[in-house]
Amino acid sequence: MTLLRSEVPVEQTWNLHDLFETDEAWEKELKSVEKHIQSVTHFKGRVGESATSLLNCLKAKDELLERLIRVMSYADLHMSVDGTSSVYQANAARASSLVSEVSASLSFIKSELLELDGKTLELYLQEEQGLAEFQKTLSDILEAKQYTLSQDAEEMLAAFGEVLSSPYMIYQRSKTSDMQFPTFRTDDGVEHPLTFNSFPKYEDSADTNIRRKASEAFAATLDKYKNTYGATYATEIKKQVIEARLRGFDSVTDMLLEEQQVTKEMYQNQLHTIQTELAPHMRRLAKLKQRVLGLDTMYYSDLKAPLDPDFNPAVTYEEASKLVLDAVQVMGTEYIEIMQEGIHNRWVDLADNVGKRSGAFCSSPYGAHPYILMTWNNSMRNTYTLAHELGHAGHFVLAGRNQRLSNTRPSRYFVEAPSTMNEMLLSRHILSQSNDERMKRWVILQSLGTYYHNFVTHILEGELQRRIYDLADKGTPLTAKIISEQKVEALSAFWGEDVQMDKLAELTWMRQPHYYMGLYPYTYSAGLTASTIASQMILEDGQPAVDRWLTALKAGGTLKPLELMKLAGVDMSTTEPIKKAVAYVGTLVDELEKSFL
């Protein structure tokens, strides 16, 4: 039986007191931030009057946003672990309203900056040394000038921020607060409890009856919500279409890529190269699973079935933590200390409780330590998830120590590279500790799980987005039926006749929140491509490659993604790194096939 949040042992929870000691302290700060909006707005009409005025305005903005981020994070993190709480729902709504208010109030800065010409800005940069820290922020704003609306229009859009983000809020609220799953009964008469968070455990089950029964029950519940979720997602897409047209973009895709500072060629390289070149390797993996597991038909719901279920030792959180810490030794003292602090000082929420959000994430509020959400099931896959999220944590701690708030976050195109690097290091470490062939196969399976997650699951989410945005740009009304059809077509094109699509495949678009985050899914593959190549460089070149990698992490958002990856030694301007990474996946499948001869 799944616990209520109040029943969860404190050691399995993260420590939100590190953000605010009490709810009352949070309440006080929320009101204080609202009052101090004027600390920035008093620069209105004076942003560009002098170099000093510009610097002081940008500093005041960062200081206010740092406080806002802590307020917002506290509310959102509470909601993430207990979405059933009406108090947390109300607080999250209040924080969201404050974000919209601040965003609208500060939109004048961008508008006034756009009134400056390049020569004046260059002069200011020479006059005021402190502006050097804001150089990329300023250049990014000027580059987007042609897509920026009038000051009044930008303020109006920002004022509607809470409303415009409501599709994502509604989706999350429904998942955590309303959606209830029935127990399901297997052929042996045993009843099994089912939640959004527990379903992945059943997907990974070695028992085909459990996998398929769980899939049927899970999909049956999703099916009841599909029209509501379809309308919610369609609203999100329509919002983006309208904004893209208002700003003068040729398409939604162009608008979302401009935000990431990624070219269409880089975007299409990821989608096309991986789908084309990886599909044959993944189909071989599907056939291998079907043969080894003795399945007459390979269904979509069978894809995560374990190939060696008898060799799946339970891994406690303590054991997993030691594995991760040992694996990252190559990264040096500073990085290791960050990992240790995250593991031992309650940065991680492990519990499975009613109302907890599914999946995993790392939230990194500037000026505070990161927070990691996951659900611990004592599996090796959990160990990889922990390593992954700690990779995000390490990245943003290093960036935060070396950059001011404005320069902390890189493009989403890079953001999954540090997390998947930790997974690469983990696999290598485990392999180095054992000569056992079965252990080697086990690690290969875990590595393939990483590539499946990023190169298959997320790239096919990206393919669905590509199809949906194309339809939306043409004015095609989007419904649950159309979204499901497009999802099945994308999956079928990748898996061919080797995998039979089922109800879970049709409705799997309802499982992930990524569709409400712009062009996020495909960037997982870009990050994993970079970490695959960079981890090979670390193996070949040693310390110089490590130094390059850490320099890229510390750079934060001071460089565009292409330049940032080049700093780490990876050139993503061509398809070569992608092909090399896909070829590496092919070698893993080769090794796996040999192990089952």
Domain 229-312+402-597: homologous superfamily in CATH: Oligoendopeptidase f, C-terminal domain (1.10.1370.20)
Q: In whole angstroms, what is the distance from residue 522 CA to residue 295 CA?
A: 31
Length of the chain: 597
Unique residue bearing structure tokens 């993503």: 572
Report d(CA 174, CA 188) in Å as an integer.
Answer: 33
Answer yes or no: is pLDDT of 408 > 90.
yes
Got the DSSP string for 264-325? HHHHHHHHHHHHHHHHHHHHHHHHHHHHHHT-SS-BGGGTT--SSTTS-----HHHHHHHHH
Domain spans, the chain:
7-164, 229-312+402-597
pLDDT band at 4 (very low <50, low <70, confident <90, very high): very high
Lowest mean pLDDT among 184-193, 195-204, 296-305, 421-430: 195-204
CA dihedral over 489, 495, 496, 501, signed as positive or negative: negative
pLDDT tier for residue 376 given thresholds of 50, 70 and 90: very high
What pLDDT does 158 receive?
A: 85
Q: Which of 15-24, 89-98, 224-233, 379-388 has the lowest mean pLDDT?
A: 379-388
pLDDT greater than 80 at residue 1: no
Predicted pLDDT at 431: 85
Are 7-164 and 229-312+402-597 the same fold in CATH? no
| Per-residue pLDDT tens digits for 122-169 | 999 999 999 999 999 898 888 888 898 888 888 888 889 889 999 999
Give the mean model confidence (pLDDT) for residues 551-568.
Answer: 96
Average pLDDT score, the chain: 94
The answer to whether the beta carbons of residues 486 and 468 sit under 8 Å apart is yes
pLDDT digits (tens, 9 = 90+) for 339-349: 999 999 999 99
Write out the two tokens for 379: 């599996």
Q: Output the pLDDT for position 93.
A: 94
Domain 7-164 has CATH 1.20.140.70: yes
**What is this structure's pTM?**
0.86
* Reported confidence tier of residue 437, pLDDT bands at 50, 70, 90: confident
Q: What type of residue is 586? A: G
3-state helix, strand, coil in the chain (%, to 5): 70, 5, 25
Q: Give the mean pLDDT of 291-308.
A: 94
Write out pLDDT tens, residues 306-319: 998 888 778 999 99
The answer, yes or no, to whether residue 457 has pLDDT greater than 80, is yes
User: Could you give the angle at which helices 480-495 and 208-247 cross, rounded to 10 degrees?
Assistant: 110
- Identity of residue 493: A
Q: Which of 112-126, 206-220, 389-403, 529-543 has the lowest mean pLDDT?
A: 112-126
45, 152, 305 from 112: Cα distances, Å: 7, 12, 56
- Of 172 and 387, the structure prediction assigns the larger pLDDT to 387
- pLDDT of the residue at 454: 92
SS3 191: strand
- If pLDDT is split at 50, 70 and 90, which confidence band does 433 have? confident
The average pLDDT across 412-423 equals 95
How far is it, in rounded angstroms, from Cα 490 to Cα 317?
Answer: 37
Q: pLDDT tens digits for 341-371?
A: 999 999 999 999 999 988 899 999 999 999 9
DSSP letter, residue 362: E
Residue 208 banded pLDDT, cuts 50, 70, 90? very high
378 or 117: whose pLDDT is higher? 378
